[in-house]
Amino acid sequence: MYEQITCLCWNSNSIEIYVGDAVGRVSIMVLSIFTVNGMFQAPTCTLMNLDSSIVQLSFFPPLLLVSTLSRCYICNTVQEQYKQIGNKPRNGEFGACFYKVHANENAALDTQREERNLNKTRGAFNLVSDNDRNILDSHHSKIFCCRPGSRLWEVSADGIVVKTHQFKEALAVPPTALFRSNSTLGSSQQGETECDWPPQSVNFSHLFVIAYKYLFSYTTSGLYIIDPANASVLLWSNEYANVSMTAVVDDRIYLMTCDNEFHCLTLTSLDSLILRLYRREQYSECLTACFVYKSHLSKIVTQDAKEIVELLEAKSLPEILQDEEALTLLRSLITLLQAAGSNRPAKLDSGIVVVHSENSDSLAENSRRAYGCELTPASRSSDIFNEDSSEIEILEPGRDADGNIAEGNAPEAAADDVRDERVDSRRKDEVLGAKDNTPKSDPQENITHMVQSDLQPIYALANSVRSSMSEKEVEEVASEMERRMRTIRESYCDMPGLQSFIYEITRAAELHYYNAFLENVSMQLLYSTGNDYIVRQFAKAFVEINASGSGRCSCGYPYPLDEEAAEPKFLAVGEALIKRHVEDLPEECGNICDQVPYMWREYVSVRVARRSALDNLLRQCLQTRDNVTLSLLLPALNEQQWACVSACLNEMEDGTCLFCAMPLVKKPDYKLLMDWSGIAREIMKREGPDEAVAFLIKLESVIPDVNLDRSIFQSIIFTKMLHRRGLKKSIDFSKINQLTSEFGTMCSPQVRDQLAKTLEHDLRRSIDKNVFGTGAHHWGMRYQAKSLTCPCCTLSLETPILLGNSGIAIFRCGHAYHVNCMIERKLTKCNLHQ
């Protein structure tokens, strides 16, 4: 139905996708996480028909920002209204984006909930006048729109242009050089230029937020990063002048050139780059970085650092034959940066340096150092079909060009975190102490003590949780817990050889907290609170505690449940979460059930009781093969839904996943086929034999020739007999057989022959006489033995010499004796009760 699609944009929950095309049409597709196979068959709804091709879409709940070739529009997806931004048209590919202000998370969640409630009734949007300011409150979020001539409009959330930023003069600076490590494919390091640069009049194309606080755009002449808070240009680079497409994730820029080359750039600060290379013992590359950015380092280097001063004053980089020589030159600079740089990083005139390096953990740095940015790209460039592509060497993260694991790969940014300062000081001692031959403690042991010390506050927080805590106190504890765990993970995320150990001990601390949270926080708070953050904490704790035992397919969906699915811990919490979310947030219920498949039983039960639509649950429930879940779901299906079940059965017979069609891993505990007898048995237990019979009749009509175990018919008949006598008890004959039950059969040859003859006459088919028992015989009664040994002789009841022709005597209490033993001991009753 579309012309050429020009842009796509997900909403914040990845449930809706907005589509813009070349004729100016904006449409929406509402996708369900439960319908993977039919994802691209979802219906679409046209929201707007605008004046020209769509250039860029940006979403921030509940607003959708649309930029066309001529104008920008702000749309409220809840009120289904949109308005034009500004009055002056333009002509060209100019982007726009939200500059998000993370001020009130709960308010954003409220708007998301309102939006979800309108999903099913979405209609075309209405254009409102410029004077209407009801799109959203002006403090909600900022908007930036590209304009011709190096300009940006700053716009409030209600669509009013607040100011115009002009960057023509600010771009009169030389481009920033990219730093490329020696291991980067085809790297050729360029130095920075000191020449004057004229003002630039450029037309910013697509606009993105990078590192959570800057704006990134690109043109045919280069890449640009802007600081909207100070209305200044942080940097620009002309080393990629033929960019055709870009995407931004956190502080990384992924770009594709017109030559089908792909590159990844990461934003970071200069001192972080130098310290990182130094810690990884890449001294030559560290020295190269100092020389490339010598004009900026010279502003912070004191005259005491003679070696670096001489290096920065040199016109060319001296040839360093050994790392020891580079280390000698670098030591004074590293000492300076470690002492002061962690709190006051060195930066360029623009504040930023662009780097081109293979390994980077810049996201953790960015979270600790708000302004620190580094462009470190893992540049995997080349046409996929290039004849020389086989010669390209891809370096794994954390490895050098020779394939060796880099040492000293700890958290790079020693910013405001005391923990990072400890790690940095320890590493500094290791590096500097190597020349002095001073004794050093084991680094792994030191880190172990550090991690354990850092986890002590986590355990203290967990032990502080009380049922008497107020809602505000619970929120504060949960927030502090998340902050501390995030800090610990970031601090130790780059420790070679210790990742597994660190994960285990941090995971243990986290699970201890979750257990304490669910054990001590009052369940009444979950029922009564309106704080979504606390509810999410309940859900996260429940899932984290119970999700580890469930196997998963490669597509992410759970494997069939084990034969005996264990009840999850804190089941009452899971039930409360299901009941809370079933109406407003069904996708949250689905997420909980996917992580803890046992909860499908509770969710399906609630959905059936509320007579809700069940189409989006079919595949998930069939994938579990859980008899209890299916016994709740299948009787409530209509003809169309049964047809879907029939189609899924064909896939199940092939042993494939119902979502990705890949073969399931065959394990003894997994049921690959449906247990129809077991499903009918669960219905009989819960609702009685009549409902079980009705289900079997329905099953036969929609899926003929279903294989059923004869025990289900025996169970239904005997259960019905008990019900007619007023005894509401179910009989399960599947557990009454010779091989798997505690029951056994002993039948004399005479009785066995007579019984077999009678059954053959009644059933009109032959009978296997082994069904009456193949072991020792008695007078034909069925018994449940409490012991398999004779209490008199303590030997097995089936000892042939003791059985003889006399057999076994069984008393009402269930104890059995060899008759020969009773004669020998002159017993007339069970002697175990005297």
Q: What is the pLDDT of residue 360?
A: 39
Residue after which a domain boundary falls, among 266, 286, 304: 266
Q: What is the pLDDT of residue 383?
A: 32
The CATH number that applies at residue 72 is 2.130.10.10
Q: Are residues 252 and 277 in the same domain?
A: no
Q: Are residues 163 and 312 in the same domain?
A: no
Q: What is the DSSP string of 485-532?
A: HHHHHHHTTT-TTTHHHHHHHHHHHHHHHHHHHHHHS-HHHHHH---H
Q: Quick check: is 536 in a domain? A: no
Q: Are residues 234 and 302 in the same domain?
A: no
Q: What is the pLDDT of residue 225?
A: 94
Q: Are residues 13 and 94 in the same domain?
A: yes
pTM score: 0.45
Domain hosting 312: range is 270-343
Q: Quick check: is 245 in a domain? A: yes
Per-residue burial over 77-96, b = 16 or more CB atoms within 10 Å of its CB, e = otherwise: bbbebbbbbbeeebeebbbb
Instruction: Indicate if the pLDDT at residue 356 is higher than 50.
Output: no
Q: What is the pLDDT of residue 33?
A: 57
More confident of the two residues 563 and 89: 89
More confident of the two residues 398 and 677: 677
Q: Are residues 246 and 327 in the same domain?
A: no
Q: Are residues 60 and 162 in the same domain?
A: yes
56 token code pair: 């860029």
Q: Are residues 283 and 261 in the same domain?
A: no
Instruction: Indicate if the pLDDT at residue 226 is higher than 90.
Output: yes
Q: What is the pLDDT of residue 749?
A: 65
Q: How many domains does the chain have?
A: 3
Q: Are residues 159 and 246 in the same domain?
A: yes
641 token code pair: 């839904």
Helix (H, G, I), strand (E, B) or coil at 423: helix
Name every residue whose Cβ is closer than 8 Å to that of residue 123 and which is 6 or more positions away in sequence. 45, 80
Mean pLDDT of 227-243: 87
Mean pLDDT of 98-109: 58
Give percent of the chain with pLDDT exceeding 90.
14
Q: Quick check: is 595 in a domain? A: no
Q: Which of 122, 204, 110 is nearest to 166 (CA)?
A: 204
Model confidence pLDDT, tens digit, residues 693-713: 999 998 888 888 888 888 888
Q: Quick check: is 681 in a domain? A: no
Q: What is the pLDDT of residue 613?
A: 81
> Which of 66-80, 136-150, 414-428 shows the lowest per-residue confidence on average (mean pLDDT)?
414-428
Q: Are residues 90 and 206 in the same domain?
A: yes
Q: What is the DSSP string of 305-319?
A: -HHHHHHHH-SSPPP
Q: Which of 251, 318, 277 is nearest to 181 (CA)?
A: 277
Q: Are residues 231 and 291 in the same domain?
A: no
Range of 105-119, 138-152, 243-257 with top mean pLDDT: 243-257
Instruction: Indicate if the pLDDT at residue 266 is higher than 70.
Output: yes
Instruction: Indicate if the pLDDT at residue 490 is higher than 90.
Output: no
Residue after which a domain boundary falls, among 206, 238, 266: 266
607 token code pair: 């959905």
The overall longest dimension of the chain from CA atoms, in Å, is 119
Give percent of the chain with pLDDT exceeding 70.
69
Q: Quick check: is 164 in a domain? A: yes
Q: What is the pLDDT of residue 354?
A: 44
Rounded CA-CA distance 100/85 in Å is 18
Instruction: From residue 100, give the alpha-carbon distance in Å to each of 18, 213, 508, 533.
Output: 19, 9, 35, 20
Q: Are residues 220 and 333 in the same domain?
A: no
Read off φ and ψ for residue 304, nearest 5 degrees.
Answer: -70, -30
